Amino acid sequence: MKSPFVADLKDGQPVQGLFLVRSREVRNSPRTQSTWLQLVVVDRTGSIEAKLWRSAGQESGFEECARVAEPQQVIRVHGRAKTYQGRLELSIERLLPAAESEFDRADFVAHTRENVDELFAALLAEVRKMRNPWLQKLLMRFLEDPEIAKKMCRAPAAMTMHHAYVGGLLEHISSLCGLARAVSAHYAGVDADLLLTGVVLHDIGKTEELTDTAAIGYSIGGRLLGHITIGVAMTQRKICDIPGFPPRLAMLVEHMILSHHGSLEFGAPVLPCFREAVLLHYLDDMDSKMASIRASLEAPAVDAAWTPRNPALARGLLRADDFLRDAVAPAPEAPPSSSASKTGQGL
């Protein structure tokens, strides 16, 4: 069995273990004239940055290590875990290639904790309750497509920011279904079927953008086109297969996919321009941030009170549970006041 896992690493711990390389870069510092190999390595419990410094007279060994640490490959790391600027990282002393016989690929790909079959069945049940026949037919074209359904159950929702694991996309969609149901009941006039359609299709392009064959990564099409473009094209193809689909309704669906990032600076080609599109953006943003917060709180603790910097929120987060436990603890009994004491003496 693989050991140690990223989630088990502690400051100062010697490390001899297997990790999968997610990214590799050789960096140089003009100020210190130093060179190092900067890696991000992962297993199914999380990711961690790792550094190997080039020493004088060991250039050939450094170059060989840089060659071995190829993205998507499993390597054997010898080094130590240490805290740097509030974050746990690996300081590598040496690394070696790992043979396929030494590891199980399942140890390096994180999975949702949810039962994906149950999530998919619940999603199907939700769609079958829709009242708009056109939108229901569109969604069923996706859910009843065996290839797309299989990918929906395995696709991650992102590379790193949120739900970045196998099954993460379906978990994200399932969470959004619950939010959309509550919001549609709360705000008068919201078209629940249109909002649900946006929930199911807004990230459908990630079934083609992201891969999980060895570790989560981008497909060639994902790099060139991005999931928004891919998702709109997939939706247009399904709409074309439905004779008589209303063109103006199709435009609303496509707009929700195009605008769900909410602003141009975050990659939305257009801004959300009607009620359900605006709601979709904010629900998607909220769910992704809550998932990111959960990941930060579950990451290895370097500081007892604060998480490492959360990249989605650009800040560390307070571990507030201890504060809340203090708030529900029984208050100590107050001593009798002096006035009460005197009154008692006078009786």
Is the previous residue joined to 30 through a cis bond, with omega within 30 degrees of 0?
A: no
Residue where a domain terminates, one of 108, 138, 157: 108
Other Cβ atoms less than 10 A from the Cβ of 68: the count is 16
Whether 319 is in a domain gets the answer no
% of the chain exceeding 70 in pLDDT: 88
Burial of 93 (0-12, 13-18, 19+ CB in 10 A): middle
Q: Look at residue 332 in the predicted model and tell me its pLDDT.
A: 67
Which pLDDT does position 347 carry in this prediction? 39
Decide: 308 and 86 in contact? Cβ < 8 Å.
yes
Cβ–Cβ < 8 Å for 81, 12: yes
- Which range is most confident: 16-25, 99-108, 154-163? 16-25
- Final residue of a structural domain among 91, 108, 125: 108
pTM across the whole model: 0.74
Q: Are residues 151 and 204 in the same domain?
A: yes
Unique residue bearing structure tokens 């439905």: 242
- Quick: pLDDT tens for 332-346: 676 666 555 555 454
Q: Which whole number is the average pLDDT over 238-261?
A: 97
The pLDDT tens digits for 67-81 are 999 888 899 999 999
- We report the CATH number of the domain holding residue 28 as 2.40.50.140
**pLDDT level of residue 55 (50, 70, 90 thresholds):** confident
Chain centre distance of CA 193: 26
- Residues 77 and 219 both lie in one domain: no
| Domain span including residue 130 | 116-295
Whether residue 96 is found in the same domain as residue 148: no
Q: Are residues 169 and 209 in the same domain?
A: yes
Domain count, the chain: 2
